[in-house]
A and B are shown apart, each in its own frame.
Chain A
Amino acid sequence: MVNIIDHLIQVFLLRFLCLQMASATATYGQKESSDQNFDYMFKILIIGNSSVGKTSFLFRYADDSFTPAFVSTVGIDFKVKTIYRNDKRIKLQIWDTAGQERYRTITTAYYRGAMGFILMYDITNEESFNAVQDWSTQIKTYSWDNAQVLLVGNKCDMEDERVVSGERGRQLSEHLGFEFFEASAKDNINVKQTFERLVDIICEKMSESLDAGDPAVTGAKQGPQLTEQPAPPHQDCAC
Chain B
Amino acid sequence: MIQRNEVVLSVLGNLQEATETSGLAAMTRAAQEVDKLLAPFQLPKTLCHDFPEWTGIDRMAHGLYPPDAPHDLIPLSCTGEGNMLFDAVSMLLVGNTDLSLELQVRTVVEMVLWKRYYLSGMIDSKMMLQAVRFGLCAEESEDMLNLPVAVLEAIFDADVKASCFPGSYANMWHVYALSSVLQLNIYSIYPMFNHKIRPYFNRIIRPRTWPKDSEPLTLHIMWSGELQSESAFRPNHFVALVQTSDWTFGSPDSDQRVSPIKSEELLNDDSQLSYPSLKDKYNITKRTFYRWKRQTQEHCKKSAARYEAKYFLQSCYTEGKLIPLHQFKQFFPEISRSSYYNWKHELLKTGGNFSASSSTGEISPGESTEQEAWSSPDAKEDEPDQHDSVASMFGLSLGKLDLERAQNVAHMQEAKRCLQNCIAMNASLPFRLFKRFFPGISRSTYYNWRREAMLFIRGYKTSVGSSEDSSDADKSESPKSLSPVPLNRSNTAQSRMRVCRQNHRRFRLAYMSKKQLRDAAKLHIKRSKWSLTKFKLKFPSMSPCFYWLWRSSQNCKKKKKKVVFQSAGISAPQSLDNLATETRNMEKKESQTGHPFVESTKYLKSPAVPSFNPPHSKDATQSKMPVDEQVFAVDVVALANFKAKAKLFLQQRFEEKSFPTFKEFRSYFPFTPRSTYYMWKRALHHGVSLVHG
Contacts and interface: CB of A to CB of B under 8 A. Distances in A.
A29 B80 CA distance: 9
Interface stretch (B32-40, B157-165, B412-420, B581-589): B157-165
Contact of B20 (A74, A77, A79): A79
Interface residues on B, range: 35 or more
Interface stretch (B144-152, B487-495, B520-528, B684-692): B144-152
A218 interface: no
- In this complex, the member of A91, A103, A223 whose beta carbon has the largest number of chain B beta carbons within 10 angstroms is A103
Contacts of B166: 31, 33, 41
A78 B161 contact: yes
A225 B161 contact: no
A17 B81 contact: yes
Interface stretch (B11-19, B374-382, B384-392, B394-402): B11-19
Interface string A28-54: 101101011100010000000000000
A113 B58 contact: no
A133 B82 CA distance: 28
A75 B77 contact: no
Interface in B71-86: 77-84
Nearest to B59: A225
Interface stretch (A19-27, A146-154, A172-180, A208-216): A19-27
Given A30-B97, A35-B9, A36-B12, A103 B151 contact: yes
Contact of B82 (A25, A36, A106, A113): A113
Contacts of B165: 41, 91, 93
B138 A105 contact: yes
Interface in A73-115: 74-80, 91, 93, 95, 102-103, 105-106, 108-109, 112-113
Given A31-B97, A76-B158, A225-B59, A22 B226 contact: yes
B20 A80 contact: yes
A18 interface: yes
A232 interface: yes
A235 interface: no
A105 B9 contact: no
A228 B59 contact: yes
A152 B60 CA distance: 40
Contacts of A223: 60, 226
Contacts of A95: 158
A20 to B, nearest CB: 9
Given A79-B20, A105-B138, A25 B158 contact: no
B121 interface: no
Contact of A21 (B20, B54, B83): B83
A23 B237 contact: yes
B250 to A, nearest CB: 10
A68 interface: no
A14 B158 CA distance: 23
- Residue among B138, B157, B169 with max Cβ neighbours from chain A (10 Å): B138
A60 B17 CA distance: 20
Given A21-B83, A35-B9, A36-B16, A106 B224 contact: no
Contacts of A31: 80-81, 97, 166
B143 A105 contact: yes
Interface string B635-650: 0000000000000000
B170 to A, nearest CB: 12
A3 interface: no
B59 A74 contact: no
Q: Is the interface of B mostly helix, strand, loop or mixed?
A: loop
B251 interface: yes
B137 interface: yes
Given A22-B226, A78-B162, A103-B151, A109 B138 contact: yes
Interface in A155-200: none
A78 B158 contact: yes
Contact of B151 (A18, A74, A80): A74
Contacts of B139: 105
B136 to A, nearest CB: 5
A64 to B, nearest CB: 14
Nearest to A228: B59
B25 interface: no
B428 interface: no
B24 to A, nearest CB: 11
B16 A23 contact: no
A23 B59 CA distance: 9
Given A31-B81, A37-B16, A21 B237 contact: yes
A77 B157 contact: yes
A25 B154 contact: no
B20 to A, nearest CB: 5
Nearest to B251: A230
Nearest to B237: A21
Contacts of B266: none
B79 A112 contact: no
A36 B17 CA distance: 11
A104 B81 CA distance: 25
Contact of A23 (B12, B161, B169, B224): B224
B58 A112 contact: no
Contact of B138 (A26, A77, A78, A142): A142
Closest 5 pairs between A and B when the two form their complex, measured CB to CB: A105-B137, A22-B226, A75-B154, A27-B79, A74-B154
Interface of A: 14, 17-18, 21-23, 25-28, 30-31, 33, 35-37, 41, 74-80, 91, 93, 95, 102-103, 105-106, 108-109, 112-113, 142, 223, 225, 228-230, 232
13 contacts: A14-B81, A17-B81, A17-B167, A21-B236, A22-B226, A75-B154, A75-B155, A78-B158, A93-B165, A105-B139, A105-B143, A106-B144, A109-B136
Given A30-B97, A223-B60, 6 more contacts: A17-B81, A17-B167, A31-B80, A37-B17, A78-B158, A105-B144
